[in-house]
Chains A and B, each alone.
Chain A
Amino acid sequence: MHSPALFQIVVLVTSAFFAAWTADFPGSDASVISEILEPVGIAVESSQSSAPPLHRQYGIDTGKIASAAARAPVNDITDPIVIPTSPPGNQHRETEPVSFEIVKWNWEHAHGPFLVAVWIMVASLAKILFHLSSKVTTVVPESCLLILLGLGLGGIVLAATNRTEYQLDPKMFFLFLLPPIVLDSGYFMPSRLFFDNIGTILMYAVVGTLWNSSATGLALWGIKQAGLMDEKVDAGLMDFLLFGSLISAVDPVAVLAVFEEVHVNETLFIIVFGESLLNDAVTVVLYKVFNTFVEMGSDKVRAVDYVKGVASFFVVSLGGTVVGLVFAFILALTTRFTKRARIIEPLFVFLLVYLSYLTAEIASLSSILAMTFCGLCCKKYVEANISQKSRTTVKYTMKTMASIAETIIFMFLGISAVDTSMWTWDSALVLFTLVFVFVFRAVGVILQTWVLNRFRLCPLDRIDQVMMSYGGLRGAVAFALVILLDKSKVKAKDYFVATTITVVFFTVMFQGLTIKPLVKWLKVKRSNQHKPTLNEELHERAFDHILAAVEDIAGHHGYHHWRDKWEHFDKKYLSQLLMRKSAYRIKDEIWDVYQKLNIRDAMSFVDQGGHVLSSAKLSLPSLPSRTSFSETSVTNLLRENGSGVCLDLQVIDTVRSGKDKEDTVMHHVLAGNLYKPRKRYQANYSRHFISADEQEWQDREVIQRNMRCRLESFRSTKHSVYQSKGKSRHKKSQKKHRSSDVNGEVPNGKPKRNISWQDTVPVVMTMDSEEEEEDNSEAEKEEDEGITFVARAADEVLLERKPSSESPSTRNYQLLSTALWCTQSSHKKTLSYCTLGVCQSPFLLPPSPTCAEKELPWKGDQGDLPACVSSETTKIVPIDLQQAWNQSISSLESLPSPPVSEAQQLQCRTLPPARLEERGAPAALARPLQDPRFQFPERAAAAGRSSEEDSTECIQQQELRPLMSPDKQPRPGPSTGSAGARWPVQFNRAARVSLLKNLVTASPYKGSGQTDL
């Protein structure tokens, strides 16, 4: 388990990243090392595999080519147990090159990582296969299937080569396979729940494990003494105690694998799972102590050794915890300063937590404890510090790695079991072990629960106890530990291996299979996992305060008292120290929930936009009172996350590759045909930044604005519906007032829909990103309120932008906008494009964030709305969107300075797709000009007056749909300030490309002629 070389590498990588982070140092070294690191780890497993002899002669000196850093640890940690299959001489046979070979077969060169990759792929494919049939996986836990698969694969390999090639190697297991799982479980452990039950968990983990191991060991020894066991099982008391210690520990991997699929209530889950994690300390100590005793010979063990053993327990457990806490502190502190090097944020999380694990291993402390506490404690601060993208990365990487590790563990458990050479069967030992393991677990649970229930607030009832006893699954940890035994010292190792494998298989397969029916049969309280509501979050927070206060008043310094104290301390000192100022400022759970809810609503709204219109009913997931939604557990949520309603906003903007292509096309068009402005052309490649905050922000903002558009139009439609029906709806008396509206309100009398632009800062048509679309309870607002495009120079936005204004993506857009400007100015004279100088009059129209979002528009029924199917997103978008758009355009006309023709020009630019492709509907476009201040609801009410209009609008709608898609908008760069023109142009990307092509490659007149003015 000790791996100095590996540890050094990790330290090296960490320091490299620290260097990269402090000095913006090209991360090439670091990434190379990190790339190397992964194969190194798993190469351990594959180093046992033999290369086909045919190819071996072609082997090129592998060691020299592969980096020294990679090879060294491989040799170091190659397990002695593994049978060396390939004679070393063959490996480096130098062949004199007779002539030049066109193709060489370099199997030796990369066979290690290759095999690892193949194994992982097999495991992953198996996982896919299992989940193809939902029937199988609902009945049989995945772990069982994987073990069966492993057995099958092992059998095939055994039959083919007559030798067991692969098995679960303890070193690989402890160094590479276990950490991802522990990391995942520690990091995503519900900390509140965990600490609420910490007493119970500790009790089961410490006392329970002690009891289990000693009772099992002693009882087995008793059976042996009674002569019921085979004579050949050569084991004394110490051997049995050693065996008891390794067989008695509940295994986190197995528990997680099985309990994840059985959705028992959170308390039960956290107790069993927490126990399985925390009992590591006890297991490690007991195992080491008894192992030493066995190796010393039981007659030499003195009393002082027992004392040492007890002391060792405290050192191991507390030491492991302290290591974890120290690394958690370092990690939190580090992420506080990663603002300039966002790209390596996720790596820090993985590296430092892994370092904590390795450090604990090196110091022979409890590594699982270290990692669990590191993940558990750093999470709050890390999550606050790192960017949203990094958070997503961390989450998915962790889940992926844990899932793969789990898959491999179970598969290799199956494969290992095929290896008959290492185990010897003894029915009595196996049978009695099975019985004892089960019985003592149950007895232990009942006894401890009896004690605990005297102290617990909500006592654990009988069913809980049954589940706890039944959930005591043994797994790969026990197997790895038994493999690690020294055969020369522990004579009965083969018997123990066989027994362990049987116990593991029995618990995972039999108990895993039956636990679901048992849960159903016993009617165990299931987890009522539901999406958080703001009310719950808010009230539960209040409850915490109440309980703390009541405890204070009652003079009883209980758990709530100390938690209150801790939270106070955390708020006052720790968070200030470990969190970024900005993060600390906005860090609040209630606010978080609020934002999450809003985002979710927005996303689900977008996703089911079509259904809304067709069925006039929208289900809002976060408003359970209104609609019913199927309750899913977090696991299912995670599994389905990719396909279903996407809760994570950030996921969305990673899923567009098509846009990138268009981006490239456009870039080439521009780069090839446009004048290159001074200072504009800079290399925009950076290893450090995949995507700048700017773009991220832009995307979010665009989505938000689209949402807003839709919501507004929906709402307006509803107005009209109501109006036409003559219904008077209850109006909220309380109008919204915003004290912190930095830019003030639009003066009365002016239409509130404005497109305003700003000259001083590169923020154009910016929505306040903090505002959400549907957060307000006001049912109705002024009728004439349409879309508002707000240019809000919010401080935070500016702060976000300024540092990243030089980032490549921004530059792209700056380039684009500049290019557009160039084009524009080149056509200036003939086309009077200078009309865009309209914008020269600095419209710093005070934007009003209030008027944009007022209402959950789907509240109440909405009549039948005409809808158009947009081909691009296959979502149904209301026609009113188009109206809203027209309206917003029309608001341009209401601005004082631009003459109509200019506005038309502007409109042409703003609506390229519509204009370019749909020339037959000038009326529809002209109308807004005639009625610059039209009242939207009236229009909407009268929307049906002309079917022809409707159809054109329909077409327009289709054309415009891309405008509403989360598209980026070109941003005017600072250099355009010379002309003073800013144009908030929104383009459909494809249309933008074509337009630009037209503008650039074709004659300017042609380009303008298309706009049929």
Chain B
Amino acid sequence: MGCNASTLAKIHNVDELILETGFSSSHICHLYNRFHSLDKDDKGLLNRDDFQNISELAVNPLGDRIINNFFPDRVDLIDFNSFARTLARFRPVENSPKKEPDSPEPINSRANKLKFAFQLYDQDKDGKISNNELLQVLRLMLGVQVTEEQLDNITDRTIQEADLDGDNAISFEEFKKSLEKVDVETVLSIRFL
């Protein structure tokens, strides 16, 4: 795949990136190639259209939202480093965590993985999943098979289940709590080449 030092050299701050994301240089290389194959007009940056051109994403019900998660703070273009950092959240967690108290939280930590998922729901970025936001996601995921009424019920029930402080919304803490029995480290990881 043409992975060599010259490719790496083209990447800005590559060492820092490797340190931060935990990707190996071959991972970075692979991702860089992918980045450029997505980057249709070689601008060195990706915009939303580039993502939307991925044909498989078109059938993903949450595709748009996931793409949005790649663009922090209403930025319309992302560079490779930002791209890699987002993907790095899905790196599997190493089995031997370095127990240094002052070391920064790794980018692929459980909290970061969950944060990504949380942001899918939390569209208005107020740190809470409201009834309406959850309903929207449910609607996307369940499609036409379930009636609005059922969706309503499920939404209510879900929020009620997770809602600990009674504000009729799921905060990130509650979100984490509701998934504490799930092996998020494994479930939200993919194997990069």
Instruction: State the A residues within 8 Å of B (CB).
Output: 455, 457-459, 461, 528, 530, 533-536, 538-543, 545-556, 558-561, 564-565, 568, 584-588, 590-591, 594, 597-598, 622-623, 625, 730, 732, 734, 736, 738-741, 770-772, 775-779, 856
Contact string, B123-162, partner A, CB cutoff 8 A, digits 1/0?
A: 0000000010000011001100111111011101111111
Chain B residues lying within 8 Å of A561, measured Cβ to Cβ, are 56
Among B137, B142, B187, find the residue whose CB has the most chain A CB atoms closer than 10 A: B187
Q: Are B187 and A540 in contact (CB under 8 A)?
A: yes
Query: In the complex, what residue of chain B is closest to A742 when comparing beta carbons?
Result: B149
User: 8 tightest CB-CB pairs across the interface, nearest first?
Assistant: A555-B34, A535-B178, A777-B160, A549-B66, A552-B56, A545-B62, A740-B149, A777-B156
Evaluate contact between A539 and B179: CB separation under 8 angstroms: yes
A622 CB, min distance to chain B CBs, angstroms: 7
Once the chains bind, are A535 and B162 in contact (CB under 8 Å)? yes
- CB pair B182–A540 under 8 Å, yes or no, is yes
The complex places the Cα of A543 from the Cα of B131 at a distance, in Å, of 19
Contact A534 B95 (CB under 8 A): no
CA distance A585 to B143 in the complex (A): 10
Contact assessment for B161 and A625 in the assembled complex, using a CB-CB cutoff below 8 Å: yes
**Chain B interface, >50% SS class:** helix
> Chain B residue with minimal CB distance to A593?
B154
Q: Is there an interface contact between A547 and B90, defined as CB atoms closer than 8 Å?
A: yes
Q: Is the CB of B95 within 8 A of A542?
A: no
In the bound complex, residues from chain A placing their C-beta under 8 Å from that of B177 are 625
Decide if A555 touches B37 in the complex (CB within 8 Å): yes
* Chain A residues, Cβ within 8 Å of B141: 538, 541-542, 545, 590
CA distance A309 to B91 in the complex (A): 42
> What chain B residues lie within 8 Å of A551 (beta carbons)?
190
Contact status of A738 and B152, CB under 8 A, knowing A457-B189, A535-B178, A542-B137: yes
Give every chain B residue within 8 A of A584 (Cβ-Cβ): 145
Given A740-B147, A777-B168, 13 other A-B contacts at CB below 8 A? A457-B191, A458-B189, A535-B158, A538-B141, A545-B61, A554-B87, A555-B38, A560-B190, A561-B56, A584-B145, A622-B161, A734-B168, A772-B153
Residues of B within 8 A of A558 (CB): 190-191
A266: nearest chain-B partner, CB-CB: B183
**B106 interface contact, C-beta 8 A:** no
B19 at the interface (CB under 8 A from A): no
Chain B residues within 8 Å of A545, by CB: 60-63, 66, 141
Task: Give the residues in chain A near B87, CB-CB below 8 Å.
Answer: 550, 553-554
Contact between B191 and A552, CB atoms less than 8 A apart: no
Determine which residue in B148, B150, B166 has the highest number of CB atoms from chain A within 10 A of its CB, and name it: B150
A-B contacts, 18 listed (Cβ < 8 Å): A457-B186, A461-B95, A539-B182, A542-B120, A546-B66, A553-B70, A554-B34, A565-B56, A584-B145, A590-B142, A591-B150, A591-B154, A594-B153, A622-B161, A739-B149, A772-B153, A775-B153, A777-B131
Q: Give the one of B34, B142, B158, B178 with max A CB within 10 A.
A: B158
Interface pair A536/B182, CB less than 8 Å apart: yes
B62 near A564 with CB under 8 A, answer no
Q: Any chain A CB within 8 A of the CB of B51?
A: yes
Determine if A730 and B166 form an interchain contact, defined as CB atoms under 8 angstroms apart. yes
Q: Is A856 within 8 A of B152, CB to CB?
A: no
User: How distant is B110 from chain A, measured CB to nearest CB, in Å?
Assistant: 13
Neighbouring A residues of B120 by C-beta, 8 Å? 542, 546
**A549 near B62: Cβ-Cβ < 8 Å:** yes
Min CB distance B101 to A, Å, is: 24
The answer, yes or no, to whether B77 is at the interface (CB within 8 Å) is no
Task: Write the chain B residue with the least CB distance to A736.
Answer: B152
Residue from A534, A564, A732, A856 having most chain B Cβ neighbours under 10 A: A534
State whether A458 and B59 are in contact (beta carbons under 8 Å apart), knowing that A541-B141, A554-B31, A597-B157 are contacts in the complex.
no
**Which residue of chain A lies nearest to B33 when distances are taken between CB atoms in the complex?**
A555
Q: Which of B31, B66, B131, B153 contacts A734 (CB 8 A)?
A: B131
Give the residues from 32 to 54 in chain B that come closer than 8 angstroms, CB to CB, to chain A.
33-34, 37-38, 51, 54
Q: How far is the CB of B182 from chain A (nearest CB, A)?
A: 6
- Report chain B residues within 8 Å CB of A559: 191
State the Cβ distance, A230 to closest chain B Cβ, in Å. 48
Docked pose: A457 CA to B186 CA in angstroms:
7
Chain A residues with CB under 8 Å of B160's CB are 623, 776-777, 856
On whether the beta carbons of B57 and A546 are closer than 8 Å, the reply is no
Contacts of B190 in A (CB 8 A): 457, 547, 550-551, 554, 556, 558, 560
A730 CA / B158 CA spacing, docked (Å): 19
B8 at the interface (CB under 8 A from A): no
CA distance A554 to B163 in the complex (A): 34
A533 to B175, CA, bound (A): 12
* Closest beta carbon of chain A to B60's beta carbon, Å: 5
Q: Which of B37, B157, B181 contacts A594 (CB 8 A)?
A: B157
B193 close to A (CB within 8 Å) = yes
* B117, B146, B148, B191: the one within 8 Å of A739 (CB): B148
Query: Once the chains bind, are B117 and A546 in contact (CB under 8 Å)?
Result: yes
Contacts of A533 in B (CB 8 A): 161, 178
B179 CB contacts on chain A under 8 angstroms: 535-536, 539
Q: Once the chains bind, are B191 and A455 in contact (CB under 8 Å)?
A: yes
Fill in one digit per residue for B86-130: 1 if any A CB lies within 8 Å of its CB, else 0. Answer: 010010100100000000000000000000110011000000000
Specify the chain B residue showing the minimal Cβ separation from A771.
Answer: B153
Contact A535 B161 (CB under 8 A): yes
CB neighbours of A538 from chain B (8 A): 138, 141, 154, 158
List the B residue with the shortest CB-CB distance to A535. Answer: B178
How distant is B58 from chain A, measured CB to nearest CB, in Å? 10
Q: Which residue of B lies closest to A525 (CB)?
A: B183
Q: Is B192 an interface residue (CB 8 A)?
A: yes
Smallest Cβ distance from A628 to chain B, in angstroms?
Answer: 13
- Taking the closest CB of chain A, its distance from the CB of B133, in whole angstroms, is 12
Across the interface, do A546 and B116 meet the contact criterion of CB distance under 8 Å?
yes
B150 — nearest CB in chain A belongs to which residue?
A: A591
Residues from chain A with a CB closer than 8 A to the CB of B54 are 552-553
Q: How far is the CA of A776 from the CA of B190 in the complex (A)?
A: 36
Alpha-carbon distance between A598 and B153 when the two chains are bound, in angstroms: 11
Task: Please give the distance in Å from B56's CB to the nearest CB on chain A.
Answer: 4
Task: Report the bound CA distance from A546 to B188 in whole Å.
Answer: 8
> Which residues from A are CB-within-8-Å of B189?
457-458, 547
Tell me, yes or no, whether B164 is within 8 Å of chain A by CB.
yes
